[in-house]
Structure 1
Amino acid sequence: MPGTLTNMLKRYNKKLYTIIVILLVLSVGLTIYTFLQPATTTVQVNDNTSLIETGYDYKAEIIPNILYPNGGTVDAGKTIFKKITTAIPFSLKSTIHSKRQVTAKGTHEVQLIIKAGDVWERSFQLEPKRRFEQSGTEISVINDPYKIDLAQVEAFISQVEQETGITPDQYTLEVLPDIQGTIKYSGVEKPFQVQDRLIFQYSMEEIPLASEKGFTSMVSFTSSQVMTKKIEAFGVQLPLRFVRISSALLSIFLLVTSIYMIKRLKIDVLSTETLEIEIINKRYASRIIPVSQKINIAQKSIFSLDSFKSIIKISDEKELPIFFNKDHKEESAVFFIVDGDYLYTYETPKTNNSDMKKITGSDKAYARG
């Protein structure tokens, strides 16, 4: 009976204590993790974006021929036939699109560059340098028509070949818009440059397009913002500071609880022994005779039994009374049967009263029901 009570109490407290220790370890781990993490983080926020789009649209001025009897200006595909084409008119449009109003200023000019492979190159101005300054969300930097005069190009190339005696395998015609300036937003000014080229290969029979016709670039305005770092748990985002404080307080609470349980477990074990005496006396009151003094054990053969059930069994078999003597000093009790020269005893485990006082803070032991 006492062993059963003690074991049940130990098992129950051991399970509860194990759960608390596991929670304590997890809580301490979370606390350490949160304290190692910065409470805030700096992120770059995109306040405004300016998109610079540059596009070309070109045609071909041709002489009357079997394909185009009337000649004139026609839409050109990716390949222009050199023998029937006199010029390449094109339009150049460069626009700044912005989510919020900005101010753009700078200069722009347009050049035609004739290249003879890696041998030589020469630039011709199609538009002189001009200044611009505009504000808004849609700023047109360039939106003008231009023309490549193929007769002048052919005349220049022929003269260079005659004077140098060098005839490269291939030439290229490059339209170069040089746009340089700044975009200003909310007191911040950022530079930009556009040099997106329209390129044609120039050979004896055809002039094919060798580049894209549309280009984009971007200027972003960002700012730094300090954000409170958060931790996601079960689909909910919690501020790191809140998790840090909560886990620290929980760790302290669990630590105090575990210490209290260790002390409580010691008290419960001691109290269980006292409880055993009370249960036996209450259950078998009619069969137990209390005595104030222990029996004189001289000249008697003593049989020490390991449980009270053995005392009951012997009492039933021999039809003898059970005597009871309690040692208040040591908080232990002796149940015994006298059978002539034989003495059958069962003594409950002794409880050291000084240990009880150390744990409970008093001399009084107690039993917990």
Structure 2
Amino acid sequence: MKDLLKQWMKQKIIRRIAIGLGMTSLFFSIYSFSQPSQEVETKQINSIRTSTTYTLEARVKPNVLYPEGTTLHPKKAFTTALADQLLIHMTIKVDSNRPVKVKGSFNPELVIHADDLWTKSFKLKSGREFSQTCQDCQVEETMEVKVSELIQYLNHIEDSLQIHPSNYVFHIKPQLTGSIDDKGKTFSLQDGDGLHFNRQQTVLSLADKEKLQISETYPIKNVIQQTNNLDLCLLQIPVTPARIIFSLLTILLVTVVIFTSENRKQEDVPEYAWIDYKYRKLLTPVKMQVNLEACTELELESFASLMFISEEKESPIFRYENKHEVLYFVPDEPFVYYYITGKR
């Protein structure tokens, strides 16, 4: 019987340890599932800044105002009565924190829109290609429009066809096809679709929303994915293995608790052994056989009831056993309260 009780005690200790470890394992299991398995770190490794600038230059033929001729730099408009040639300087700048490759081509053309009546395209110059590898790159292109010849051409069409549009739009298109290459990452060069000029009588003016400068910034970022670790004191465990380990450990410890539960093992231990172990400090053993016939006997249904009587009467609980049974009693003349449990 003592061996059974020791075995139960051992299992009880194991059960308590398993419960403690199980709660800890459950906590770390839940915590591991709340953490991302990977950490994503984004680091900017380069920044590419591009700007496209248009500069206007009107060359004036000799006249009353400028006897020797001159060069004007209009911002928005100029008169064709003075200027017989329009130069559009296009400058593309690329600034980078490290060398990049800039390449592309120009195929400038002039497109004339005569209201909704007709449209005509002219090639301004032969196309050309460019290629540079640098940190501070600059690409330039100049497009020339011979204003006097253009006006003569339009007057000829009007006289020939007897068509007199109320407005002309001159669309100067660089037709830039270019890219910036930074170690395999490619970005397009922007030309803003060129410039639009409105012609009314002898005045050429830029369209209202036209911009002479456009700019773009392209940040180059490096995304690094690395395994996230759980810090357990001095030990670091990757999150994914930690999830598996703590989940399996929790299941194992719950299984241990179930199979060492008190209700399952208590069936193998007689009731008196439980009582003797649990209330050993409250019991007073007696060796002589007790004659209960001298008092009024009150048999109780449970040891708990006897405990209640003992506390109420402030009397000790006596214990007597023979070969077949164990007697627990509380004398209180003329009564004696007792509880009997058999041996197995």
Instruction: Give the TM-score range, shorter chain.
Output: 0.5 to 0.7
Aligned residue number for residue 9 of structure 1: none
Aligned residue number for residue 243 of structure 2: 244
Aligned residue number for residue 8 of structure 1: none
Task: Report the alpha carbon displacement of residue 343 of structure 1 after superposing the two structures with TM.
Answer: 5.1
Give the secondary structure class of the aligned counterpart of 2:204.
strand
Give the secondary structure class of the aligned counterpart of 1:151.
helix
- Once residues 209 and 315 of structure 1 are traced to their aligned partners in structure 2, the CA distance between those partners, rounded to angstroms, is 111
1:164 aligns with 2:158: no
- The CA deviation string for residues 41-88 of structure 1, in whole angstroms up to 9 with x for no partner, is 89998766655432101144457678x899733332323345444443
1:334 aligns with 2:328: yes
- Once residues 82 and 317 of structure 2 are traced to their aligned partners in structure 1, the CA distance between those partners, rounded to angstroms, is 135
Distance 1:295 1:91, change over 3 A: same
Query: Aligned pairs, how many?
Result: 314
Matches within 5 A, 1:26-175: 27-30=28-31, 39=37, 51-62=49-60, 72-141=70-139, 143-175=140-172
Higher helix fraction (1 or 2): 1
Given the two structures, how large is their TM-score scaled by the length of structure 2?
0.65
Residue among 344, 349, 353 paired with 2:336? 344
Distance 1:352 1:206, change over 3 A: farther
Task: Tell me the C-alpha RMSD between the 2 structures.
Answer: 5.0
> Structure 1 vs Structure 2: percent identity of aligned residues?
18
- Once residues 312 and 164 of structure 2 are traced to their aligned partners in structure 1, the CA distance between those partners, rounded to angstroms, is 129
Q: Unaligned 5+ residue runs, structure 1?
A: 1-15, 283-287, 354-369
Task: Report the alpha carbon displacement of residue 229 of structure 1 after superposing the two structures with TM.
Answer: 4.9
Aligned residue number for residue 177 of structure 1: 174
- In structure 1, give the amino acid aligned to 2:90: L
Given the two structures, how large is their TM-score scaled by the length of structure 1?
0.62
Give the secondary structure class of the aligned counterpart of 1:303.
strand
- Once residues 104 and 20 of structure 1 are traced to their aligned partners in structure 2, the CA distance between those partners, rounded to angstroms, is 63
- In structure 1, give the amino acid aligned to 2:299: S
Asked if structure 1 preserves the Cα contact closer than 8 Å seen for 2:50 and 2:217, the reply is yes
Distance 1:43 1:159, change over 3 A: farther
Task: Report the alpha carbon displacement of residue 97 of structure 1 after superposing the two structures with TM.
Answer: 3.5
Task: Report the alpha carbon displacement of residue 220 of structure 1 after superposing the two structures with TM.
Answer: 8.2
Task: Report the alpha carbon displacement of residue 122 of structure 1 after superposing the two structures with TM.
Answer: 2.4
Task: Report the alpha carbon displacement of residue 325 of structure 1 after superposing the two structures with TM.
Answer: 1.6
Distance 1:345 1:102, change over 3 A: same
Asked if structure 1 preserves the Cα contact closer than 8 Å seen for 2:230 and 2:239, the reply is no
- Once residues 190 and 312 of structure 1 are traced to their aligned partners in structure 2, the CA distance between those partners, rounded to angstroms, is 89
Asked if structure 2 preserves the Cα contact closer than 8 Å seen for 1:87 and 1:148, the reply is yes
- Once residues 280 and 186 of structure 2 are traced to their aligned partners in structure 1, the CA distance between those partners, rounded to angstroms, is 91
- Once residues 203 and 182 of structure 1 are traced to their aligned partners in structure 2, the CA distance between those partners, rounded to angstroms, is 37
Asked if structure 1 preserves the Cα contact closer than 8 Å seen for 2:109 and 2:121, the reply is yes
Aligned residue number for residue 12 of structure 1: none
Residue among 198, 201, 217 paired with 1:201? 198
Distance 1:304 1:169, change over 3 A: same
1:280 aligns with 2:282: yes
Distance 1:160 1:272, change over 3 A: farther
Task: Report the alpha carbon displacement of residue 177 of structure 1 after superposing the two structures with TM.
Answer: 1.0
